[in-house]
Amino acid sequence: MAALANRLRDHFDWPLFVAAAGIALIGVTNLYSATSAVGPARADIYIQQIYWLTLGAGVAVLVVAIDYRHLERHGWVIYGANLALLALVFLLGRSIRGSQRWIPIGSFSLQPSELMKIALIIALAKYLHNDPKTDGRTLKDLVIPGLILAAPMSLILQQPDLGTAMIMAAIFATIMFLTNLKLRSLVTLVAVFVISAPLTWTYLLKDYQRQRFLSFFNPREDLLDSGWHAHQSIVAIGSGGLWGKGFMQGTQNQHRFLPDQHTDFPFPVLAEEHGLAGVLLLLGLYLFIVLWGLKVASQAKDRFGAVIAVGVSAMVFWHAMINIGMVMGMLPVVGVTLPLFSYGGSSVLAVMIGVGLLMNVSMRRFHF
């Protein structure tokens, strides 16, 4: 055991650790400023975030300590357990703002859909690890992986949680594309998505979700209601300039024009206070984690580890891209958090587990 611990220490992935810790540190500082003007009810949110990050770090250490190849043997159990948690949401869940996504556990509310992203990555990695096919995958080869995605995604859409469903679909598409999906199959999938869009609009989306999409295409139509979030966010980002207005000096935030500035909209707080310089620093850290994860995937000892690394990298990439895209008015507002930056216990735990898995695969490239 001591020898194993020494080898783990010697091969510790410091670049990945520093990048993730940097995002978390900037995020906590940003949360302190974001909640400084909202009154005592939320003044201690940054303290709660530190607790979640500490807990997440502890869980990540456990994930790193257990050889990721053990997860391959229990992949279906992990997937099934998380699927059961998703189903329990409809029996035990608590409804907030019309969405039933959380299971109350004492003073904490668990959001199973966040953990389901990790379970989906592990399940897809297990399936692809055992798949003997080496040439390009056709649509027929996507039936079973598609069912692995469809089961949790259908439950998540019923909560309803369009943002998380989109993230899971994006993770699935990225894994399939980077594991040798034929171009013809990819084009066909895109065509099916486009053709099915009217059905999704009519039968799957709720009224408020449709209104958010309409506000995206015509943001000035309803600035005082559905268009308020995106409009105020764009104003905050644009007013930051090159160097920003200074820490806790952002007028959009301090005068409480920005909504949900600690969950879905912390990025505009950073942009207004620290300008383009702060934005580039944060984006650089996210880009480093994604590219580093793809490097880890290319050097992994087996297909299971490679798919794990691709999946975690995709999760971080799509979360960051969709969140930043929606707060900049480039995408509809769908309620997606910014990894390790937005407040949220379940989100922090899921991302920290993902970072732990990525570090696990990275460190076990070496022989021990």
Q: What is the pTM of this model?
A: 0.90
Task: Give 83's pLDDT tier (boundaries 50, 70, 90).
Answer: very high
Beta strand pairing call for 99-105 and 94-96 = antiparallel
In three-state secondary structure terms, 89 is: helix
* pLDDT (tens digit per residue) in 200-215: 666 666 666 666 665 6
Task: Tell me which of 250-254, 287-291, 320-324 is least confident.
Answer: 250-254
Cβ proximity of 364 and 67 under 8 Å: yes
Q: Tell me the C-alpha distance between 225 and 231, whole Å.
A: 10
* pLDDT (tens digit per residue) in 145-176: 999 999 999 999 888 888 899 999 999 999 98
DSSP label at residue 203: I
* 45 residue type, one letter: I
* Residue 362: burial class (beta carbons within 10 Å; 0-12, 13-18, 19+): buried
* 303 residue type, one letter: R
Query: Domain map of the chain by residue range?
Result: 2-363
Task: Tell me which of 155-169, 221-235, 243-257 is least confident.
Answer: 221-235
For residue 252, pLDDT beyond 90: no
For residue 278, pLDDT beyond 70: yes
Please state, in angstroms and as integers, the Cα–Cα distance from residue 102 to each residue in 88, 94, 149, 238, following that order: 10, 5, 20, 34
For residue 50, pLDDT beyond 90: yes
